[in-house]
Amino acid sequence: MRTLRKDIVISERSQAQFRNLTDFCVGTGRVDLAMQQEYQEQLRAVQDACHFRYIRGHGLFSDQMGICQVHKDAEGNRHTEYCFTYLDRTVDAWRETGLRPFLELGFMPAALTDSPNTIFYWNAHTAPPRDMDEWTALVKATLRHLVHRYGEEEVSLWPCEVWNEPNLSGFWENADKQKYLELYRATVLAVKEVLPGMKVGGPAICGGTGSQEWISDFLAFCRDGKIPVDFVTRHAYLGQTPERRGRYLYQQMAPVSVLIEEMRRSREIIDSFPEFRGMPMYITEFNTSYNPFCPIHDTNLNAVICAALLGSLGDVSDGYSYWTFGDVFEEQGIPPRCFHGGFGLIANGLIVKPTLWAFSFFAGLKGKCVYRDDCAVLVRRPDGGYEGVLWNLCEDGEKTLEITLTVPMEHEAAVLMERVDERTCNPLRAWHVMGEPEDLNSEQLAFLRAAGQPSAEILKAEIQDGTATVRLTLDRNALMRIRILPAERRSGAGYDYSYYCED
Amino acid sequence: MRTLRKDIVISERSQAQFRNLTDFCVGTGRVDLAMQQEYQEQLRAVQDACHFRYIRGHGLFSDQMGICQVHKDAEGNRHTEYCFTYLDRTVDAWRETGLRPFLELGFMPAALTDSPNTIFYWNAHTAPPRDMDEWTALVKATLRHLVHRYGEEEVSLWPCEVWNEPNLSGFWENADKQKYLELYRATVLAVKEVLPGMKVGGPAICGGTGSQEWISDFLAFCRDGKIPVDFVTRHAYLGQTPERRGRYLYQQMAPVSVLIEEMRRSREIIDSFPEFRGMPMYITEFNTSYNPFCPIHDTNLNAVICAALLGSLGDVSDGYSYWTFGDVFEEQGIPPRCFHGGFGLIANGLIVKPTLWAFSFFAGLKGKCVYRDDCAVLVRRPDGGYEGVLWNLCEDGEKTLEITLTVPMEHEAAVLMERVDERTCNPLRAWHVMGEPEDLNSEQLAFLRAAGQPSAEILKAEIQDGTATVRLTLDRNALMRIRILPAERRSGAGYDYSYYCED
Amino acid sequence: MRTLRKDIVISERSQAQFRNLTDFCVGTGRVDLAMQQEYQEQLRAVQDACHFRYIRGHGLFSDQMGICQVHKDAEGNRHTEYCFTYLDRTVDAWRETGLRPFLELGFMPAALTDSPNTIFYWNAHTAPPRDMDEWTALVKATLRHLVHRYGEEEVSLWPCEVWNEPNLSGFWENADKQKYLELYRATVLAVKEVLPGMKVGGPAICGGTGSQEWISDFLAFCRDGKIPVDFVTRHAYLGQTPERRGRYLYQQMAPVSVLIEEMRRSREIIDSFPEFRGMPMYITEFNTSYNPFCPIHDTNLNAVICAALLGSLGDVSDGYSYWTFGDVFEEQGIPPRCFHGGFGLIANGLIVKPTLWAFSFFAGLKGKCVYRDDCAVLVRRPDGGYEGVLWNLCEDGEKTLEITLTVPMEHEAAVLMERVDERTCNPLRAWHVMGEPEDLNSEQLAFLRAAGQPSAEILKAEIQDGTATVRLTLDRNALMRIRILPAERRSGAGYDYSYYCED
Amino acid sequence: MRTLRKDIVISERSQAQFRNLTDFCVGTGRVDLAMQQEYQEQLRAVQDACHFRYIRGHGLFSDQMGICQVHKDAEGNRHTEYCFTYLDRTVDAWRETGLRPFLELGFMPAALTDSPNTIFYWNAHTAPPRDMDEWTALVKATLRHLVHRYGEEEVSLWPCEVWNEPNLSGFWENADKQKYLELYRATVLAVKEVLPGMKVGGPAICGGTGSQEWISDFLAFCRDGKIPVDFVTRHAYLGQTPERRGRYLYQQMAPVSVLIEEMRRSREIIDSFPEFRGMPMYITEFNTSYNPFCPIHDTNLNAVICAALLGSLGDVSDGYSYWTFGDVFEEQGIPPRCFHGGFGLIANGLIVKPTLWAFSFFAGLKGKCVYRDDCAVLVRRPDGGYEGVLWNLCEDGEKTLEITLTVPMEHEAAVLMERVDERTCNPLRAWHVMGEPEDLNSEQLAFLRAAGQPSAEILKAEIQDGTATVRLTLDRNALMRIRILPAERRSGAGYDYSYYCED
């Protein structure tokens, strides 16, 4: 394998551009799953590590959430009542972990449509409403309830996105653009009627042929109709032509730069509208593969691709949301075993996947950026130390990365490293070697949980002439957090580490 | 209101018949709901008070549980895989609260039937399997998985009931008795193939015209076909002709004695088969109304009816299971507000209903029975004190009940009373006076939780001639636990309660 | 018993003076006890009900806290090291329940004095320091450590009081005023050297002969010496001449008005110094008896005395601190049984005492005061309802209090009452009737915990001509919270409470 | 560094002697510290890993526990009352983590002696009782209380040891053997009077000159006086001549074999008494150094010494108890920083030390021993796999240990390794490199906790001719758990690990 050597030299005056929006938002499976215990435990674990601020998922108006309750009276007449029992439990569960909803207004309650079209294992209805007034009544009642419960000031901070991927016929009957625009108009007006300060956006498209055109058509429609719009949303996935085997899906990944360019193009379209120049653009879903049974999601490769994305997405957008935080997820059926290629940062059984660490390490990067390239981001910490995330993504062939890092440092310093690579932090491989068991006993579970933790290494920095030099080696698909921290000796009188240990 | 006075005199030699099976089993909403946080909190609260041993509910094989997972491969071929992810979470949740499953084998996975017939908000499929072998394969695979995870010794302790209320066409297509008997035969043989020691029974019928005949036909079928059967199951509800208003259902209740007689008749049918004489009969569901939107379930009246039932059901059966422990329940849709007439012993929001106390008080009755009538059960406690449950059910007209209770007691004694009546422990009334709010703020919630706690009263027993005499008044629909405990003075030297307080 | 009838009529324009400082501060046993599990549980329970903001207790520099660690080296030389292990655990424990320290700088570490004088079971050293510089070095090192750990901004919010009750020779050797003033001077200068923004005060005296003179001497000393002082502190107890029996102490209580006048006199002394006019005066300890084995603390009488104090203390001070929140307390030895007359709002075993409810009810009184007298405080709530605390303190003879309360109310209203009186919420009496057991089994413990909860009563207000009228009866030593809240009917279609219940 | 190569070949018939008593008992700091939150958290963490059955510590009758409460009445007369408040909290805390007390009856309450002699920071009184009857009254009252609270059956399972290290004058005034024997006689008779079934033993000596003679004198005394004795206890430490620097103590360690021989000698002395042949001998304390400020306790060296001891101590004793489980410990003062050489398996701040893993790995060794030497113990697991603990203790010079391990294995197998060595699991070194900080911020704490976790490695075993061969390298002071488990492939149809990962 070839070796790439790189010297990174930081001075007191170094600076670099880097917009860190890692903690903006994260995706979730069907929103009512938030009532489940396993979901809540996974979310707590993710939040302890990543501290996301918003959460976005499908199914707000689907029947599992039960907001539209239909029943017949003694005479057989159909009555619709709104029921917010599950909505409250869902939002409460999110708020307990410090999250606010990024509301996605969809899908259609079965009661509001006559179309049989559905998507997913859980039968999400994908047709426009039979009667737009029934839909807007539902939207308004829901928002009013939220305001009653959480207060207008709070709810006004929750962004609202209209529908999901209407440019796919699976998600929106016939991918009918005109009907989507009508839905958007009616919905945004309903929202603003209840909460004028709430931010609303669309068109929530995924990529593919004609997708950029949806953005320009959407904005032209808003401009021409003087329809409110506060932000533009779209999705970003790297997966190429899929291959299916059994219930699993395999795909090669496009280069990160290709996806960044696609996003930049959307940004330019928005900015080409004088009225909308600089309007926020949110990538409300991103990931490698768009399929929840694609084994890549559980790998170290996935982690370094995400690291590369987190290093760049702030250049072309105002927020992005990994799809999804956990593996309590039912779109293609219930996950049959801990590793099955689910989207989650954490696997069922509370086994952390490598990708979680990409988000955790980036979320922790506070301070002024001093260096950024395609395998590293480094910041100067408020406490005078340095912190960085480094990764080795081998898009153009396998390599070992050897980095010599030099930072200004007057006195002794400790170098704290957390390493996530195929050898040190790879629970998928551990599970594979175990024989890919379906049902984990407590011994296996404990081992897999331990196998998902980064190795914690520490070394003394070599200090010379006011600089600390650190030599790092990253194997293929390795991810690393490094912190270089001043280490003034403070021990008690008489304490001598070297009596029993080599210094 | 008239007053009924009663003297109960207990001597050292008093004894009475009373078979206390209160803690045998309790019902639950659709079993996969066990994965929800609110469900688990309600169950913990109920178990802290009642300590049930088994739990029984519907939906083991319904699609929400996701055991039968169907997916298409690249060529579009349908494949069935078994997935036990949710089963494991469900059973684990029960076991964490000390419960074992009383397995109900049903309903039909959508994938195993072509019939469109379903029941409930959550679309339980009610038709026989397209292919009986697919069904028995499912049953066997499920049991094998349980054995693998929990061990054969443990799983053999879990009773198995085949289907639910097949004598109703809503639950079993056409209420086809012959098809049920075939289902039973195939199922029991499948179970015994995997776990010869597992106990299996049926026919799980509800009451109504022809129901007793189902029992005799079922037993004759087993006898004639030499088909294994370990116990007989049936249900017991008191609700009479219903009246529907909106989504709510109202019904008058039959007298408790009528229901007891109906159960006794079933018992006699079983015993009329020489082969099955003395075989256990379990009442796998009982309650007042059979509807989850019947307001009676939240009342003090419900509590005293249940007290009367708990006093008598042990005479005519070998176990009974209140339907259900909590209000996380979806059969007729999602409960829209805390009080809506749900079955639960505890309401959503963790508000305890009066009926919980009937179960809690009875579950605590340990020791030798010294007295039983239609408004009281009293036992001699292992520690030498006395304990009783008393209630005032006014089936034949409102009355106040005044009881003078005399028990043997040498020295000082404390009388501990916990009172649950319409004035002291009636959260439904509190909610009604609050205006029946849909969404409770934290102040309302705290008050309702407090309003669901019994008042704790204490008094010194009057001791005379080796007996303690206690006078008790029970208003309409009052329920009370009383404990008379020896109270030897043990205070520290110099401690004088009477300095600041009247003795 | 005589009956006192009172009409309270509130109009839209009613207002009254009432300064509610209930949540300002609460006392604690020796501060290092905060590391104990039982202490933390009691504190959580108290904070859930009362939400205090500061906590103050003795022993910061006592040996149990271990800040001054002395050890000998190989040659036998004495070395002093500061050790903040326990200080950190203590402060962390407080902060976890939302509390900030109100620092009391004392007592003397054994290592800093040669005097054998100590106080309490735990041997608090009460002499001045051998060398004032050793003392100020300790103070400064401690504050520097706190700043390092919690930040300057945060620690500057923690008030600092110098020593405790130096006007008693038990607490300060010889009650030597001159030496106290020297201690104060050295200490305040040390504090301000580290944290100029920290507020510092004294002289932390208790009442008794000559106590007011301490205040004037202290202020004159500060004025003349230009010594910083930010607030004045003193204590307030109602107990009169004590009578001791065994380890218990009994005393009659002075009228509340006498104590208020004593505080007012201190206030006037402060204001008589032009330089210090309006300077905050904090009552850093108050209670009925000053002894932790005085049975009054566990009674309902104690609760209503405290209610009367909470109604008035805001007139004469700027903050007050009940001594103490819980019964993890060792000054006179370890509490041998749950009820022993300890200071706590909550007894060992997490049994709530009546007095907790006085603090909880007052702490909840938010809004504009509309009425205050010697048995009631009423406020208009932000939500348009009314809330009040009422009590029946019988200083001039037993009476029943009958109150007719009228408030403006347009529509239906619910009256929520929580009653704490000798019959409904009196765990001490329950324990007494049980025989005053030393060791509680789980059944007894559960009953006593239930017996410490207020009864939750509710009734519909009678509405007439835009006013709601409520009739209340308070027995001797009764305490009550009442809330009158609008109750608009919001129930679902078809729901009929009256089908099974009388309305 | 030299390398030692070793081949270990296991066959189906292999067997070896190994008596695993790892989980028998563990030591604790002063018993009342069990009331502290940090103590309880450390104990839970230790128990999750090690599952000890008994716990033993000093101070049952010391004043911090407060069982002997002395107070004066109004006339100044001294009264003694027993107070079990803290005893109950202490025992409850242990029982909540699954532990039973191994009672050590000592030290002397201040109230029962006139001697000023004390030991430790917390002033444990070390003199015989003024009046033996006061002492036995205390012992009997305490046992009676325990029986009242926990039941006779339970308390009879708790062994009782009389005093601690009476052969040291620091612990027992003048190390007076005759007075100890008198204490033993009086105490054992008192215990047996209350609980005839309780097991009692002594003389609880430490090693050193004349210590073995104490055992023979003790047994002769019992034999001659027909005094009950159920077991013999002694201590075992490896530390040689100490050197003190500041408050820290340094010592070289004797070889493990020397200590084993010393224990064997004690065993032989017991067996030389025909009456006592085979009587249990418990090592109620063992460790490397006997000083709680000796830095060795925090090292990897300590872990491998303990591994060697755990491999051998079962040959010469019937139970042993590591001194101590955690670092909440005050004998020589309060620990000033996380690493200070405390005895604990876990450091303050919940940082796991390497030694914990020696206990955890050994505690998990279930099954038939197939191999044991001075660096490895291997067992055949009940599930057909193999499990072992290996270590590299370099008593005779540094070396690397290379082990080739061969076990019978038919099919695929996974090799799970957990490695604890100076590079991979060494929180002490991490703290040292950080600059030995006194006060840890949350970032440092998180890193140190991670640094205390073993690395979890996994590899596929090479299978050939029905055997699996594994090659292992252990660096100096390395400790390792290895599990070789059958790994039958069970993955779902279509799942292909190798698509994204190298197999």
pLDDT digits (tens, 9 = 90+) for B132-190: 999 999 999 999 999 999 999 999 999 999 999 999 999 999 999 999 999 999 999 99
Domains of chain D: 2-15+366-487 (2.60.40.1500), 25-363 (3.20.20.80)
- Contact between C492 and A79 using a beta-carbon 8 Å cutoff: no
Q: Quick one: pLDDT at residue C368?
A: 96
How much of chain B exceeds pLDDT 70, in percent? 100
Partner-chain residue, chosen from A73, A81, A492, that has the shortest CB–CB distance to C81: A492
- Contact between B422 and C501 using a beta-carbon 8 Å cutoff: yes
Classify the C-alpha dihedral D463-D469-D475-D476 as positive or negative: positive
- Contact between B333 and A93 using a beta-carbon 8 Å cutoff: no
Given the residues B161, B285, B331, B387, the one annotated as active site:
B285
Q: Which of A264-268, C77-81, C294-298 has the lowest mean pLDDT?
A: C77-81
Amino acid at B234: R
Mean pLDDT of B211-223: 97
Per-residue pLDDT for D492 more than 80? no
Nearest CA-CA distance, residue D72 and chain B, Å: 12
Please list the alpha-helical segments (H only) found in D51-176: 85-96, 132-150, 152-155
- Contact between D79 and B493 using a beta-carbon 8 Å cutoff: yes
Tens-digit pLDDT profile for residues D175-197: 999 999 999 999 999 999 999 99
How much of chain C exceeds pLDDT 90, in percent? 93
Looking at the DSSP bridge assignments, the partners of residue B404 are B7, B471
Please give the sequence-ordered ranges of beta strands (E in DSSP) within B189-316, or none if there are none.
200-205, 231-237, 239-245, 248-253, 281-287
Per-residue pLDDT for A347 more than 90? yes
Q: Quick one: pLDDT at residue B446?
A: 96
Kindly report the number of other CB atoms within 10 A of residue B216's CB atom.
14
Average per-residue pLDDT for chain D: 96
Average per-residue pLDDT for chain A: 96
Per-residue pLDDT for C489 more than 90? no
| Residues on chain A bordering chain B, Cβ-to-Cβ distance under 8 angstroms | 35-38, 40, 66, 69-71, 73-74, 79, 81, 83-86, 88-89, 93, 145, 148-149, 243-247, 330, 332-337, 348, 438-439
DSSP character at residue D31: G
- Contact between C81 and D336 using a beta-carbon 8 Å cutoff: yes
**Is C193 part of the annotated catalytic residue set?**
no
What residues of B are in contact with residue C418 (Cβ under 8 Å)? 450
- Kindly compute the dihedral angle of the four CA atoms of residues D430, D436, D439, D445, in this order, to the nearest 10 degrees: 0
Q: Quick one: pLDDT at residue D69?
A: 85
Given the residues B165, B331, B387, B418, the one annotated as active site:
B165
Contact of A352 with A427, CB cutoff 8 Å: yes
Partner-chain residue, chosen from A36, A74, A439, that has the shortest CB–CB distance to B35: A36
Q: Quick one: pLDDT at residue B386?
A: 97
| DSSP strand pairing (A124-125 vs A118-119) | antiparallel
Per-residue pLDDT for C71 more than 80? no
What residues of A are in contact with residue D340 (Cβ under 8 Å)? 492, 495
What residues of A are in contact with residue D429 (Cβ under 8 Å)? 458, 501
**Is D285 part of the annotated catalytic residue set?**
yes
Nearest CA-CA distance, residue C434 and chain A, Å: 42
Tens-digit pLDDT profile for residues C109-164: 999 999 999 999 999 999 999 999 999 999 999 999 999 999 999 999 999 999 99
Mean pLDDT of C471-478: 97
What residues of A are in contact with residue C79 (Cβ under 8 Å)? 493
DSSP character at residue D345: S
Which of the four pLDDT bands, split at 50, 70 and 90, describes residue D1? confident
Per-residue pLDDT for B72 more than 80? no
Q: Quick one: pLDDT at residue B242?
A: 94
Which of the four pLDDT bands, split at 50, 70 and 90, describes residue D239? very high
- Contact between D69 and C333 using a beta-carbon 8 Å cutoff: yes
Per-residue pLDDT for D485 more than 90? yes
Q: Tokens in use for C17?
A: 């003076």
Which of the four pLDDT bands, split at 50, 70 and 90, describes residue B55? very high
- Contact between A340 and D492 using a beta-carbon 8 Å cutoff: yes
- Contact between C494 and A73 using a beta-carbon 8 Å cutoff: yes
From the list A81, A238, A240, A49, the residue with the least C-alpha distance to A145 is A81
CA-to-CA distance for C67 and A477, rounded, in angstroms? Answer: 49
Q: Quick one: pLDDT at residue D220?
A: 98
Per-residue pLDDT for A60 more than 90? yes
From the list D348, D380, D358, D384, the residue with the least C-alpha distance to D367 is D380
CA distance from start to end of chain C: 34
How much of chain B exceeds pLDDT 90, in percent? 93
Q: Quick one: pLDDT at residue A77?
A: 82
Q: What's the alpha-carbon Rg for chain A, to the nearest Å?
A: 25
Q: Which of A34-43, C12-21, C176-185, C482-491 has the lowest mean pLDDT?
A: C482-491
Given the residues D161, D165, D387, D418, the one annotated as active site:
D165
Mean pLDDT of D219-244: 97
Q: Is B119 helix (H, G, I), strand (E, B) or coil?
A: strand
Nearest CA-CA distance, residue B494 and chain D, Å: 9
Q: Tokens in use for C346?
A: 């909550």
Nearest CA-CA distance, residue B483 and chain C, Å: 10
Tens-digit pLDDT profile for residues C362-384: 999 999 999 999 999 999 999 99
Tens-digit pLDDT profile for residues D28-84: 999 999 999 999 999 999 999 999 999 999 999 999 999 998 877 777 787 888 999
Tens-digit pLDDT profile for residues C399-414: 999 999 999 998 899 9
- Contact between C455 and B455 using a beta-carbon 8 Å cutoff: yes
Given the residues A104, A161, A173, A285, the one annotated as active site:
A285
User: What phi and psi values does residue A378 have, to the nearest 5 degrees?
Assistant: -130, 140
Contact of B133 with B182, CB cutoff 8 Å: no
Which of residues A489 and B330 earns the better pLDDT score? B330
- Contact between B149 and A89 using a beta-carbon 8 Å cutoff: no
Test the B interface: residue of A95, A334, A348 with most B CBs within 10 Å: A334
Tens-digit pLDDT profile for residues B467-479: 999 999 999 999 9
Per-residue pLDDT for B1 more than 80? no
Partner-chain residue, chosen from C245, C428, C500, that has the shortest CB–CB distance to B494: C245
What residues of C are in contact with residue D242 (Cβ under 8 Å)? none
From the list C26, A61, B433, A492, the residue with the least C-alpha distance to D340 is A492
Which of the four pLDDT bands, split at 50, 70 and 90, describes residue B215? very high
Contact of B353 with B59, CB cutoff 8 Å: no
Per-residue pLDDT for C424 more than 80? yes
Nearest CA-CA distance, residue A490 and chain D, Å: 6
Nearest CA-CA distance, residue A240 and chain D, Å: 14
CA-to-CA distance for B367 and B20, rounded, in angstroms? Answer: 10
- Contact between B458 and C494 using a beta-carbon 8 Å cutoff: no
Which of residues D80 and C239 earns the better pLDDT score? C239
Per-residue pLDDT for A395 more than 80? yes
| Residues on chain D bordering chain B, Cβ-to-Cβ distance under 8 angstroms | 73, 79, 81, 492-494
Tens-digit pLDDT profile for residues D86-106: 999 999 999 999 999 999 999
Average per-residue pLDDT for chain C: 96
Tens-digit pLDDT profile for residues B229-268: 999 999 999 999 999 998 899 999 999 999 999 999 999 9
Average per-residue pLDDT for chain B: 96
Nearest CA-CA distance, residue A246 and chain D, Å: 4
Which of residues A337 and A76 earns the better pLDDT score? A337
- Kindly compute the dihedral angle of the four CA atoms of residues C332, C337, C338, C343, in this order, to the nearest 10 degrees: -10
Q: Quick one: pLDDT at residue A462?
A: 82
CA-to-CA distance for D475 and D42, rounded, in angstroms? Answer: 29
Q: Quick one: pLDDT at residue B409?
A: 93
DSSP character at residue B292: T
Test the A interface: residue of D1, D485, D491 with most A CBs within 10 Å: D491
Find where tokens 């805001």 sit.
C314
CA-to-CA distance for A501 and A503, rounded, in angstroms? Answer: 6
- Contact between C336 and D81 using a beta-carbon 8 Å cutoff: yes
CA distance from start to end of chain A: 34
Q: Quick one: pLDDT at residue B421?
A: 97
- Contact between C37 and D88 using a beta-carbon 8 Å cutoff: no
Per-residue pLDDT for D274 more than 90? yes
Mean pLDDT of A248-260: 97
Mean pLDDT of C466-470: 94
What residues of C are in contact with residue B455 (Cβ under 8 Å)? 424, 455
Q: Quick one: pLDDT at residue D77?
A: 82
Kindly report the number of other CB atoms within 10 A of residue C17's CB atom.
8
Burial class (CB in 10 A: 0-12, 13-18, 19+), A48: exposed
CA-to-CA distance for D42 and D344, rounded, in angstroms? Answer: 9
Partner-chain residue, chosen from B244, B337, B492, that has the shortest CB–CB distance to C337: B492
Mean pLDDT of D325-353: 97
Q: Quick one: pLDDT at residue C77?
A: 81
